[in-house]
């Protein structure tokens, strides 16, 4: 009796092509992405839309690399560089397989107590593992890239 029900549910389940993830991959450690062979893609500043939502846009271009408050209240989500609708151009996606996402400006040296970075594959996006209220939301995020 349960078998037909299970088959029905599996047959009509929604299909998902990408899995949303919490940012967690540390690559080789807590140092600046520069120490692991990454080069800076852009430093993005927060543009607030209202008190609870905003977007991060590269200061030297128009790439929209992250959102605040859209995935859920107080949540920071980094967009996929090369996935569907990604912000990176094809020529970057052809050669840059790994991307670093940092809260704050990472620079060549990083104090892990103040600046934290995680890493994603070119087709991935991720949600920052902690939330930020309206007073602690980062004003900048730093995006890095690395050939695979």
Q: Which residues contact 60 (CB under 8 A, 6 or more apart)?
A: 42
Average pLDDT (104-111) is 83
Mean pLDDT of 116-144: 95
Classify 87 as helix, strand or coil: coil
Output the pLDDT for position 19. 58
pLDDT digits (tens, 9 = 90+) for 11-63: 333 333 445 689 999 988 888 999 999 999 999 999 999 999 999 999 877 89
pLDDT exceeds cutoff 50 at 2: no
CA-based nearest residue to 74, from 53, 56, 57: 53
pTM of the model: 0.84
Average pLDDT over every residue of 109-132: 91
Percent pLDDT > 90 in the chain is 66
Q: In the chain, what are the domain boundaries?
A: 20-147
Q: Identify whether the C-beta of residue 143 lies closer than 8 Å to the C-beta of residue 41.
A: yes
Please, are residues 88 and 122 in contact by the beta-carbon 8 Å criterion?
yes
pLDDT: is 2 or 64 the higher one?
Answer: 64
Give the confidence band of 115 by pLDDT, cuts at 50, 70, 90: confident
Cα gap 99→145, rounded to integer Å: 4
């Amino acid at each position: 009796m349960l078998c037909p029900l299970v088959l029905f549910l599996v047959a009509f389940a929604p299909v998902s092509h990408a899995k949303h993830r919490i940012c967690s991959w540390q690559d080789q450690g807590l140092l600046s992405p520069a120490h692991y062979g990454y080069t800076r893609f852009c430093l993005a500043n927060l543009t607030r839309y209202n008190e609870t939502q905003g977007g991060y846009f590269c200061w030297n271009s128009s790439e929209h690399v992250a959102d605040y408050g859209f995935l859920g209240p107080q949540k920071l989500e980094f967009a996929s560089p090369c996935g569907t609708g990604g912000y990176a151009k094809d020529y970057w996606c052809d050669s840059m397989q790994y991307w670093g996402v940092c809260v704050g400006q990472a620079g060549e040296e990083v104090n892990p107590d103040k600046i934290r970075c995680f890493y994603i594959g070119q087709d991935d996006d991720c949600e920052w593992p902690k939330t930020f209220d309206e007073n602690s939301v980062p004003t900048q995020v730093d995006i890095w890239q690395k050939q695979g």
